Structure 1
Amino acid sequence: MTGTDTPEWPRCGHTDSGERCRGRTVAAYPACLAHLDGTERTAYLASLTPGADLDHRGTPFTQSLLDELLAPLREPGSGRVRVGEAAFDEVRFTGDAELEGIDFGGFCSFASAVFDGGLYVQDACVGGDLRLSAAQVAGDAWFDDTEVKADAWFFKARIEGALRFCVRRIGGSAMFKGMMCGDAYFSGARMAGVTSFSEAVVDGEAAFDGVHFEQGADFTKTRIAGRACFDGARFLVNSARFDGADIGGDMPFTGACFEAEASFEETAIGGDLSFSGAQLAAGVDFRRAVFRRTARIGPLICPGRVDLSGAVFEAAVTLEAAAREVRCRQTRWARTAALRLRYARVDLSDAVLEFPVTVVGRSRPFVSPEGGVMAEPGLTGSRVRVTSVKGVDAAYLVLADVDLTGCLFVGTVHLDQLRLEGRCLLASPPPGPRWIRRRTLAEEQHWRAIRYGGGWTPAPSGVETYGPGVLAPVYRQLRKALEDGRNEPGAADFYYGEMEMRRHDAAVSRGERTLLRLYWVLSGYGLRAVRALTWLVLAMTATVLAMMLWGLPQAAPDPVSAGTADGRRITLTTTKPEPVNPEGSYAKRLSSARLEKSMRVVANSVIFRASGQDLTTTGTYMEMTARLIEPALLALAVLAVRSRVKR
């Protein structure tokens, strides 16, 4: 109600400078308490006894008038003032207002009151509601060692100075929605009911350390210009909501307790977020939050989800968290960032990286500032698992010591510039002799699960399955990323995966797929030395047997010479007979002598030059074939070994 509105109570008839007083008339008198004459006031005050109700709405007050009013209500034994219900709505206090040692049996209302100075309430007990809705205080407002057994209403109150609300307990709801003040101190207060600071404005710092919010707390769209301290605060039963809040400084939650979800959706935070020693029973939501000058978040121990989707980090930041899941979908890092995580599944889908961002799987527990190891209740597992980097520009992304067995890579930009450091795990094919042991992408697992069934990991619900034509470039870029990092042995499996996808791609020509299949069969794309050596041994064995059976002649041919004499000049012509094909049974041909010669021929054809051994026509062609095929198989084996040991 404004000063121009007609009040709902009987109005004082006193006028000053043409303006009528808004004070409520006292009893049967035509004036308010402030404008009663001496006799009338004395008579009225004499009628008051401890526990009486007071209704002086709209009355102008000074501290002396207030003391005069409360004097008859003081009990002689205890010395405390005892009031029933007190209605001081729209009163105007000139100077400071002090209330000390007062027990209100019912409500105490200062709604829309105006205090030219400060308001100081100490050692008071309010049996009903405490109401300061729309009140205006030019100085500080202190509520020390006070108890409110019902609700506390500070809706749209305006306090120019500091609000010190050191209330022992509020038995009902605490409504500070739309309130404005300088600094705010609520240290150690207990709020038994719903607590709301929605749209409140604190022009300085705020302290909520040790506050018990027994029904949760709502700080939606609250604006605090400075530091907001919640050290040791307890948010019980319902969630703690800071959605849309604007915090100018640090926001520490050291030792705080959250029994339900904590929500910071669209919150703007200007300083660090400390959760050292905090206990969280559920998740933390930072969706679309803005971290302006935040250099550190954590250590955050969260058995649920830490959701940073759509959040913006405007300064370099270090995030330390042990959580079940860390979601960073469409998160934007405008500066460098280091995510030091434990246990979590990390989703980086469509994240925007303008500077280097490192995701590190931490093996050791986090340590508190005091040096103690932080407990991690409700968290089990071993490695941090990155589940998706699709849509990310990987030029600035570094993954270290993380599990990539379920990571989605399709759709990642500049994947060839991704840095994989430490031990990064990838999925393996199903066990068994059919599948070669190698590192595979999750997308290949999904495709093979459809094609081959059991053993391969199927795609999760809602995840699209891609064919070989899409996966081949992904393998190629990952191979290049490791090769550029001088990790060619580690890139070998990505090369194998690339060739596998090309071999299975229906868009590739039949001739190319045939060559790739032959390359795969003979040496596993030049990466399986055992396979190439096996083929080499089989080829050499077959060549040795063929030489013994058909390649070596029956016997070594003797040279035949014919000469003519012409005076003193002699001319000799030597004709070497053709080798004779061996005869007799195959068993007779498999002799030790023929074995030695055959092995010499084959060894020379593979490694050295021709053996010089006389061979049959069949043997000559065998040697030519061996000199073409077997050195190639040996070269493939050497290539496979080199690909695994090259640095």
Structure 2
Amino acid sequence: MAAGTEILQLSGLTIDGKTWSAIVATLPTTNNNPSNQPQPIMPLTICMETRFSDKVNMQHYTWEKDVSFRKARFDDEVWLMGSTFERGIELDGALLGSLNLGNCTLKHIRARKVTATGAVSLANSKIEEECDLSEGILEALHLQGTQIGGSLNLQNIKIGDSNSGSFNLTAANISGDLNCTAGQFPRSSTLGSPYRDSEATNIQGLSDFRGATFGDNGIGECLFAHMELRGADFTDVTFNGRVSFSHVRLSGRCEMQNITHNYVDNQPTSPKLKSGTSKQFAGIELRNVIFEETVELNGWKSDGSIQLNSITTEKSIELLDVDIAQFSALLVGCQYFIARGHFGSIKLSRCQFSSGGQVRADGGELHIEQCSSSAPLTIAPLDMSKTLVAVHTLNGTDVSNFIFSHLDLANARLETAANLDKIVVQGPLAMKRPPRFRVKRAVLLGEIACRTTMLNRRRWRRLLDSDVTPVPSLPELQAAYRALRKSQEDRKDSPGSADFYYGEMEMRRLASPRLSVERGILTLYWIVSGYGLRAWRALALLGASLTITTALLIRFGLTQPTDFQESLIFSLQNTISITNTTFLTKMNHTGAWIQIFQKITGPALIALAALALRGRVKK
């Protein structure tokens, strides 16, 4: 033992602190350690099933050979900080209070099925080969700043419980794979860095989280921020509480299917989570993440929110068969986007789709802001026979390649969209309708807000579910109605364009100066025939005109008495005939003027009625 070449065999013994000090006092020492003090040089050490009854201080030791504490029991803390292991250390099945292997240099670690009532720390250690901590039960695991030349195996590990525990992988560098399959991680799990200017966690191999659980009972904080991953698999992962993927870079394929997310409201947010995420979020946030391969988020289930914030990818993003309470996305350069499932709400902001896609949702609200697509993007219900999807916002969205099918646009601010004249609307369309005793037509939400606030129309106020800000101007609404009319006319849908033409003319009439000639002409056009769209008005006025002019003709226009029936026949013939009618020859000057009036108004009203009927029946 004095030469450092013997085997230190302590298996099956019970050793207290004094005994251990006496043993190491017989060994040679070296000053070549972080403390610059004489510390023992350990030989091949075997402590299988050994019990250490006191705190064990092994700081700054030099272990020249293998070390085995297999199934050993440590009743108190074990300090190995700053030690050098020229081979490796084995702790399979060991029972620990707490273990500190920080700032150590090792060849490998094998610590499977370890049970520790305290924390296990490998912080800032350098491990040349693999580190195996699988199937362990630990109170906490600290791996911040650890450099591992091989793989890190945390398969089936369990860290912490409902009220305590932590897992920290900040600034670690793993050259091999990270295996966290079926692991149970505590409410406080920090795999990335909370700060942008700090060193990123780098996983050069595959990061496998299949079947892992983070947090419990809807509570937790899991931070993947600022990680660099070459490939990741999050299939069947369960997240609880808040989760942040802020500024993650994924250069390989990312599998994120069948994720379950549980969330309990009113959870406090720690400063480390706030620093790398949005100010307020209640769920899973992928923020400023770069995906270099297709992203599949299929089968996700969340009762909180899923946020894809400032995602950069040149590939596709898929959300299939999901059940998400709130979903929002801000995508840059996405090739193809598909979302299909049950959503409480969907928000797409500043998304750019180069190859289009589809959004098929079952119920919920849809908000689309400042988005564009270079190819057709279809937005439709998941099941066409069920409730329509309610679109609420199209602010700044270029809808030239958007196809809306079976949607509820009653609360949509359509006037805020760009290229509205190129929008494509298919199938049933739900929109607001005017108050009672008004012309039944499709009405934009902006018109209701305008009539309520600017024109002070009280009856229209009942149609508003909430305040609309900012309130659009009449010219803006006129342009929106004109664009919608044009889109329907381009698709040869004359009946569909009629309501939008009516709205366009209404906004034009109301926008004209009150005492202007244009206002007068448009008002007359509105009263007479509903802008050429209401045939019953023209026909009713035609009947009233015939009755009144006939009565005037009998009273003032004839030189000899004539009965009403004969005069009515004359008026009708006069109205529909181009040439002069000679049925009654004895008319005075007043009768002649009445005849001229009938020849002008009659054909005009008949033409307006025919025009309105044609617009309604034309396909």
Shorter-chain TM range is 0.7 to 0.9
CA separation in 2, counterparts of 1:157 and 1:291? Answer: 30
Which sits farther off after the overlay, 275-284 or 520-529?
Answer: 275-284
- Kindly indicate whether residue 610 of structure 2 is the aligned counterpart of residue 602 of structure 1: no
CA separation in 2, counterparts of 1:312 and 1:257? Answer: 25
Aligned residue for 2:470, secondary structure, equals coil
Q: Verify the 8 A CA contact 2:574 2:595 in the aligned structure 1.
A: no
Q: Which residue of 2 aligns with 1:220?
A: 225
Q: Which residue of 1 aligns with 2:32?
A: 21
Q: How far off its partner does 1:438 sit?
A: 0.7
Q: What is the aligned counterpart of 2:409 among 401, 404, 408?
A: 404
CA separation in 1, counterparts of 2:608 and 2:506? Answer: 17
CA separation in 2, counterparts of 1:622 and 1:358? Answer: 59
TM-score where L is the length of structure 1:
0.78
Aligned residue for 2:110, secondary structure, equals strand
Q: Which residue of 1 aligns with 2:101?
A: 110
1:431-474 deviations in Å (ceiling 9; x for gaps): 2x2x1111111111001112211333459446111332332122
Q: Which residue of 1 aligns with 2:421?
A: 416
TM-score where L is the length of structure 2:
0.82
Question: Which structure has the highest strand share of the two?
Answer: 2
Q: What is the aligned counterpart of 2:366 among 346, 352, 356?
A: 346
Q: How far off its partner does 1:306 sit?
A: 1.4
CA separation in 2, counterparts of 1:111 and 1:31? Answer: 17
CA separation in 1, counterparts of 2:73 and 2:395? Answer: 69
Q: How far off its partner does 1:414 sit?
A: 2.1
Q: Which residue of 2 aligns with 1:441?
A: 444
Q: Verify the 8 A CA contact 1:251 1:273 in the aligned structure 2.
A: yes
CA separation in 2, counterparts of 1:25 and 1:350? Answer: 63
Change (3 A) 1:422 1:13: same
The one-letter amino acid paired with 2:248 is A
Q: Which residue of 1 aligns with 2:142?
A: 153
Q: Which residue of 1 aligns with 2:56?
A: 54
CA separation in 2, counterparts of 1:611 and 1:494? Answer: 42
Alignment of 1:370-519 (within 5 A): 382-431=387-436, 433=437, 435-450=438-453, 451-456=456-461, 457-458=463-464, 460-461=466-467, 463-507=469-513, 510-519=516-525
1:245-277 deviations in Å (ceiling 9; x for gaps): 223322324152332511112222344555554
Q: Verify the 8 A CA contact 2:249 2:290 in the aligned structure 1.
A: yes
Q: Which residue of 1 aligns with 2:82?
A: 90
Alignment of 1:556-575 (within 5 A): none
Q: How far off its partner does 1:213 sit?
A: 1.7
CA separation in 1, counterparts of 2:512 and 2:327? Answer: 42
Alignment of 1:118-157 (within 5 A): 118-148=108-138, 150-157=139-146
CA separation in 2, counterparts of 1:475 and 1:88? Answer: 76
Q: How far off its partner does 1:184 sit?
A: 1.0
1:565-616 deviations in Å (ceiling 9; x for gaps): xxxxxxxxxxxxxxxx124xxxxx43xxx51463155235325644431331
- Kindly indicate whether residue 538 of structure 2 is the aligned counterpart of residue 532 of structure 1: yes
Q: Which residue of 2 aligns with 1:576?
A: none
Q: Which residue of 2 aligns with 1:631?
A: 603
Q: Quote the RMSD (CA, aligned, Å).
A: 3.1
Q: What is the aligned counterpart of 1:522 among 516, 522, 528?
A: 528
Q: Which residue of 2 aligns with 1:569?
A: none
Aligned residue for 1:287, secondary structure, equals strand
Q: How far off its partner does 1:507 sit?
A: 4.6
- Kindly indicate whether residue 158 of structure 2 is the aligned counterpart of residue 169 of structure 1: yes
Aligned residue for 1:296, secondary structure, equals strand
Q: What is the aligned counterpart of 2:303 among 255, 262, 281?
A: 281
CA separation in 2, counterparts of 1:424 and 1:582? Answer: 61
CA separation in 1, counterparts of 2:341 and 2:289? Answer: 19
Q: Verify the 8 A CA contact 1:141 1:161 in the aligned structure 2.
A: yes
Structure 2 unaligned runs (5+)? 1-20, 194-200, 265-282
Which sits farther off after the overlay, 284-293 or 630-639?
Answer: 284-293
1:202-259 deviations in Å (ceiling 9; x for gaps): 112222222222233111122221123241x2223x3122222223322324152332
Aligned residue for 1:428, secondary structure, equals coil
Q: What is the aligned counterpart of 2:560 among 566, 582, 585?
A: 582
- Kindly indicate whether residue 254 of structure 2 is the aligned counterpart of residue 250 of structure 1: yes
Q: Which residue of 1 aligns with 2:198?
A: none
Aligned residue for 1:448, secondary structure, equals helix
Q: Verify the 8 A CA contact 1:256 1:275 in the aligned structure 2.
A: no
The one-letter amino acid paired with 2:408 is D
CA separation in 2, counterparts of 1:533 and 1:462? Answer: 39
CA separation in 2, counterparts of 1:630 and 1:415? Answer: 39
Q: How far off its partner does 1:639 sit?
A: 0.2
CA separation in 2, counterparts of 1:25 and 1:415? Answer: 76
Q: Verify the 8 A CA contact 1:601 1:613 in the aligned structure 2.
A: no
The one-letter amino acid paired with 1:449 is T
Change (3 A) 1:509 1:484: farther
Q: How far off its partner does 1:636 sit?
A: 0.3
Aligned residue for 2:460, secondary structure, equals coil
CA separation in 1, counterparts of 2:79 and 2:495? Answer: 83
- Kindly indicate whether residue 251 of structure 2 is the aligned counterpart of residue 259 of structure 1: no
CA separation in 1, counterparts of 2:509 and 2:546? Answer: 28
Aligned residue for 1:400, secondary structure, equals strand
Q: What is the aligned counterpart of 1:34 among 24, 42, 49?
A: 42
Q: What is the aligned counterpart of 1:240 among 243, 247, 250?
A: 243
Q: How far off its partner does 1:298 sit?
A: 3.4
Q: Which residue of 1 aligns with 2:320?
A: 298
Aligned residue for 1:477, secondary structure, equals helix
Q: How far off its partner does 1:630 sit?
A: 0.5
Q: Which residue of 2 aligns with 1:545?
A: 551
Q: Verify the 8 A CA contact 2:213 2:238 in the aligned structure 1.
A: yes
Q: Between the two proteins, what is the percent identity of the paired residues?
A: 20
Q: Verify the 8 A CA contact 2:39 2:60 in the aligned structure 1.
A: no
Change (3 A) 1:346 1:255: closer
Aligned residue for 1:478, secondary structure, equals helix
1:169-199 deviations in Å (ceiling 9; x for gaps): 2121111111222211111222234111014
Q: Verify the 8 A CA contact 2:313 2:333 in the aligned structure 1.
A: yes
1:368-424 deviations in Å (ceiling 9; x for gaps): xxxxxxxxxxxxx93222222232233223222211112213343322122222222
Q: Verify the 8 A CA contact 1:201 1:222 in the aligned structure 2.
A: yes
The one-letter amino acid paired with 1:598 is L
CA separation in 1, counterparts of 2:256 and 2:310? Answer: 20
Aligned residue for 2:225, secondary structure, equals coil
Which sits farther off after the overlay, 279-288 or 507-516?
Answer: 507-516
The one-letter amino acid paired with 1:282 is G
Q: Which residue of 2 aligns with 1:185?
A: 179
Q: Verify the 8 A CA contact 2:287 2:311 in the aligned structure 1.
A: yes
Q: How far off its partner does 1:111 sit?
A: 1.0
CA separation in 1, counterparts of 2:32 and 2:498? Answer: 92
Structure 1 unaligned runs (5+)? 1-8, 75-79, 366-380, 553-580, 584-588
Change (3 A) 1:133 1:292: farther
The one-letter amino acid paired with 1:142 is D
Q: What is the aligned counterpart of 2:346 among 326, 331, 350?
A: 326
Instruction: Name which one, 1 or 2, has greater alpha-carbon Rg.
Output: 1
The one-letter amino acid paired with 1:582 is Q
Change (3 A) 1:295 1:469: closer
Q: How far off its partner does 1:363 sit?
A: 2.7
Q: What is the aligned counterpart of 1:196 among 190, 193, 211?
A: 190
Q: Verify the 8 A CA contact 1:170 1:191 in the aligned structure 2.
A: yes
